[in-house]
Chains A and B, each alone.
Chain A
Amino acid sequence: MTDTELFELLKDISTREKGFSVLVHDFKERVYWQIRHMVLSHEDSNDLVQEVFIKVFQNIDSFKGDSTLSTWIYRIALNHTLNFLSSKRQRYRFKFTSIEDAMFESLKSDTSFEADEIELKLQKAILLLPDKQRLVFNLRYYDEMPFKEMEQILETTESSLKATYHFAAKKIKEQLLKDEIHNFDFPD
């Protein structure tokens, strides 16, 4: 089903539920992985992905078709994730450990995270990036999202996104070098 057909289903109140089940079926995995790469924990991701789809359903009338449906959904998902991380960071403000350390420690004990030493160090390096830089890096590196699509979702310029991604990749490489991991290349 195309975006336009799905949009038509969602606009009509009599076919909305059917349209929404198609939407959830089509987008759930991608939304989940985008959230998971940001928050790392499966439990948090599971909660957030459900909240995102409820938000999408509740706000379906405000979607006017100015962008593609996928862009609109990913934008909601990413904003919701950033808000979650921001409020989580607030909770960690008066704690002895930083949110990054806490996330990394829980990742190490996470059974749904199967990684070797290099992957673990890569995650540690990614966690050192600011949230928005991390978001751009994850979308490009894990989801292989084209910069053009990212431009629509994050409402910023393609050149700015490319610069952010390369800057993030450079910082990660430097961190990996400190951890004695050489020859780690990232796609452009």
Chain B
Amino acid sequence: MMAKNKSPFKVTNNYFDDLEKEILAKVQLAPKKKYLFSNSKTLIRYAAALLLLLSVGGMVLWIQPSDLSDASNQISQSQTIDSIGQNVESLVIDEPTISSNEIESFKNENHKAQTQVEQQAFQELELTEEELDYLEYYLEMDVLNDYITYNDVDL
């Protein structure tokens, strides 16, 4: 049997019958191909979703490391300053030894001083009757009454 005109290639007489049988036998044994994506449209949809996720993730990662790096820079800078300070202290000043009683008394003194300052400031803010009259003259009575009522001001 010959192919089309002019072809010098040949096959045996029953070759194509045998070939057909062989192909059909092999096809029955061949496993059916299974695709994760049934068609190209589904594949494109999944790829687009994945791309979107990746770009969002990328954006987040791109922004975050810059903030983190700023923070880490600040930390490292402060650490450097602290370490320099510590080095200087260790070189120049001997750390004083303070007892717990001394710390307690220092705290009490500090507290007293704070309350004194607060009381002084309050006294300074306290208005005399003349000053109140003066204010009353300029302020609306309703407003002043409201302020006195809602702020428990003792006159």
Residue of B6, B10, B11, B26 near A50 (CB, 8 A) is B26
- Residues of A within 8 Å of B23, CB to CB, are 24, 28, 49-50, 53-54
Q: How large is the interface on B (under 10, 10 to 19, 20 to 34, 35 or more residues)?
A: 20 to 34
Chain-B contact segment, one of A129-137, A140-148, A156-164, A166-174: A140-148
Q: Is B46 an interface position by the 8 A CB rule?
A: no
| Cβ contact within 8 Å between A28 and B9 | no
Chain-B contact segment, one of A4-12, A78-86, A96-104, A111-119: A111-119
Q: Is A178 an interface position by the 8 A CB rule?
A: no
- Residues of B within 8 Å of A50, CB to CB, are 19, 22-23, 26
Chain-B contact segment, one of A29-37, A69-77, A87-95: A29-37
- Residues of B within 8 Å of A114, CB to CB, are 8, 10
| Cβ contact within 8 Å between B20 and A20 | no
| Cβ contact within 8 Å between A54 and B4 | no
| Cβ contact within 8 Å between A58 and B33 | yes
| Cβ contact within 8 Å between A119 and B8 | yes
- Residues of A within 8 Å of B6, CB to CB, are 141-142
Residue of A20, A113, A123 near B10 (CB, 8 A) is A113
Q: Is A109 an interface position by the 8 A CB rule?
A: no
- Residues of B within 8 Å of A25, CB to CB, are 20
- Taking A24-B23, A32-B16 as contacts, is the C-beta distance between A142 and B10 under 8 angstroms? no
